[in-house]
Structure 1
Amino acid sequence: MAFYVNPLNEKGDFELIDGELAELYPHLDFKQLAELTNAQYQEFCERNNGKTKFINGEFVFEEITVDLTALLREQRALMWEKIKQKRHDNLRGGVYVKSIGKWFHSNDESRQQYTFLRTLDALPPNLMWKTMDNSFVQVTKAILDELSLQLVLDEQADFTNAERHKALMEQAESPLDYDFSDGWTETFAEVTDE
């Protein structure tokens, strides 16, 4: 099987043509094209990176240089975003109120409601709240205080854990392979899956 190079311009741009497909190029005189040796074709296949030129009957291979520092910086930034997303998702996976043994929602809307309730001088009488297991409990100031404190403690714990993972990931040889799955506060889904 023969391969030919059809030079396109003086800059070294070219097209590589499979001799078996010569009938697709009726306008070309294959005697005028450069026929590649097996060694030239093999070298082209091994080294071509899309920037190869054909000048004076020879391939000129442009080496691609990779800025490893920039690549590492990009990988670290990507993993840091994933760690922050894990922290964000984890903190919206529920908050456990130990005194009553119930999980409360901790998504952004619920957090706003808890904050609003804390601003009231007194809670509405017999305020019933749906928990994550679909049961209802009566919310008191004491429960609201415990819930709010646990939200803050969980946020601080997961913030600290995210920073720990960031520091370890930045020391890893391969940041994209770093496992940041440990050390997070428990979520309702994790507890109910166990």
Structure 2
Amino acid sequence: MRFSKKTGCFYPENISYPNLPPDLIDVDEKAYHAAMNRRHGEVLEVVEGKLMVANGRIVYRTDTGGRMIIGESGPLPDGATEKERPSELYDWREDQGAWALDRDRALASVREEIKAYRNHRMDAGGAFYEGRWFRTDVFSHKDILGAVSIGEEFDAQSEQDRTWRDMENEYVVLTAKEMAELNKAILRMRRDAFTAFERHMGLLGESENPLEYDYRSKWWPESYAAWWRCSIALRGRIASGSTGLTVSSCAIRNRSRLFLCAGSSVFSMSNIHESAYSTR
């Protein structure tokens, strides 16, 4: 048997679940029996990785933040508080009687998050070229560079060998010159991602609380995911006969036309230059 403090539920091993909470612990038969037969007013708690039936107060160690169970009445023991530790980035401040954020550890933690987000945007964000989104992961980019490097030899290949699949799983035949332009689009995206990364890393150090700094909303190059969300909203409005949109500027390709959503109006255009395509 397994138990999740987050959901307060048990999860038998013989049942397959599509999604399981991340805080599952194993529960032996004795602990499960005690949990199922607990009295009114008793609660289930996870203490040091074990399920316990608590009939007292839950308090927290000020050195590690770990849970302890003490009697319902009486003073707190030394080195304990009733305030739960927000995360491992906080330390107990006796002079304040509260958990205080360690700024250096918080900065280091968020910096790693920004690095991971930068890498994700470069690998999975996609590059927009000639009305299509193309994959930008390491393997796809390597194939594109290979096509560019052989130039005329690539153009001499059959259409099947020059067929590329975009991020909507549609196929297009490309030339070596077009491959070179696609490579430039990928390099621009990567350059813009690094520029956004450097700006966020600089501003993070100036933030009062690093954990509250929003590094996702500004300056990153456009991504296929944002385009897709906007396209879904636009298609829904078109299907319902509405011409007003409340989403940011975006362009989507629908059959042979591009629809530009700018502010609150929708325009149908036969061609939109890449530089005119922008959205947050």
Task: Normalising by structure 2, report the TM-score.
Answer: 0.45
Distance 1:135 1:121 in 2: 24
1:81 to 106, 109, 112: 112
Query: Following TM superposition, by how much is the alpha carbon of 1:125 offset from its aligned partner in structure 2, in angstroms?
Result: 3.4
* Ranges of 4+ aligned residues in structure 1 off by more than 6 Å: none
**Count of residues paired in the alignment:** 142
Q: Map residues 129-144 of structure 1 onto 2, 5 A cutoff.
A: 129-144=164-179
Does 1:96 pair with 2:131? no
Question: Equivalent residue for 1:191?
Answer: 227
Return the match for 1:106 from 114, 136, 139.
Answer: 136
The residue that corresponds to 1:167 in the other structure is 202
One-letter amino acid of the counterpart of residue 120, structure 2:
D
CA distance in 2, matches of 1:89, 1:144: 23
**Which is bigger in relative contact order (C-alpha 8 A, separation at least 6)?**
1
Partner SS, residue 169 of structure 2? coil
Deviation at 1:116, TM superposition (A): 1.5
More strand by share: 2
The alpha carbon displacement at 1:142 in A equals 2.1
Match of 2:213 among 137, 156, 178: 178
Aligned residue number for residue 189 of structure 2:
154
- Give the secondary-structure state (helix, strand or coil) at the position aligned to 2:215: coil
Q: Secondary structure at the match of 1:171?
A: coil
Q: CA deviation at 1:139?
A: 1.1
Measure the CA separation in 2 of the matches of 1:149 and 1:121.
15
- The corresponding residue for 2:147 is 117
Partners of 1:136 and 1:129 in 2: CA distance: 6
Q: Say if 2:148 and 2:177, in contact at 8 Å, map to a contact too.
A: no
CA distance in 2, matches of 1:143, 1:133: 19
| Residues 104-128 of structure 1 deviation map (CA, whole Å, 9 limit, x = unaligned) | 1111210111122122142123211
Tell me, in whole angstroms, the C-alpha distance in 1 between the residues paired with 2:178 and 2:131: 11
Separation (CA, whole Å) in 1 of partners of 2:79 and 2:207: 29
* Structure holding more helix per residue: 1
For 1:137, what is the secondary structure of its paired residue? strand
**CA offset digits 1:35-74 (Å, max 9, x no partner):** xxx9xx43xx1x7325xxxxxxxxxxxx869xx89x2121
Distance 1:111 1:73 in 2: 37
**Secondary structure at the residue paired with 2:136?**
coil
Aligned residues: CA RMSD: 3.0
State, as a whole percentage, how many aligned pairs show the same letter: 25
Q: Which has the larger radius of gyration?
A: 1
For residues 197 and 114 of structure 2, what CA distance do their matches in structure 1 show?
6
How far is the alpha carbon of 1:89 from its aligned partner? 0.9
